[in-house]
Amino acid sequence: MAIDLSDETVAKIVDGLITRGHKFSKIESEEELRNTKSLLSHYQLLENHLTVELPEVKEDVPLSQYERSLYSLLGYRVRSKEMMEFVNNILSRYKEICTAGTFEDRRRYDVIKKLYLIDGKQTRLQLADFYRVDEKTIRRDERKAIDDLSIMIFGIDAFNDMSKTRRTSVQK
């Protein structure tokens, strides 16, 4: 059964689909930029990125392509350093907040610390055994800490991301 649509109706449908697609890809890319779990998962690599020695570039010689690449790397290094200083300040403040809170708050910080931040990371199962709780409790602690840190790092945008994520998972 074919439906006859006017050119105007087809144009409105196409325009609506394109607009909706752009909005969706923008939302998706913004959420990827504000992925706190990924930031925590790569925390040690980012810290190590700041300590790797880069060759020195002589300023009195015209820049080769190699040297221009080094300048680009230096730019990445500067941005990474600024971000990691900010993240470390947030983690320090989060530790203070959790330390002043309940036993569960302190455990929540320890879960993040032992899963992501230290050498000799532990598994969720090891943490569950250590705290004598179910592994699901450790996962809830991890998710709550990541949500808290997201808000501390990204502000209201993180809160909006979380509410969107929760709404779409409820609708599924």
**pLDDT per residue as tens digits for the range 73-91:** 667 777 888 889 999 999 9
Q: Which tens digit of pLDDT belongs to each residue from 35-78?
A: 889 889 988 888 887 777 765 656 655 555 555 565 666 677 77
The band of 25, judged by pLDDT with boundaries at 50, 70 and 90, is: very low
| Spatial separation of the C-alpha atoms in residues 94 and 111, rounded to whole Å | 13
125 CB contacts (<8 Å, ≥6 apart)? 135
pTM: 0.66
CA distance 163 to 35: 14
The reported pLDDT for the residue numbered 165 is 55
Cα–Cα distance, 54 to 76 (Å, whole number): 12
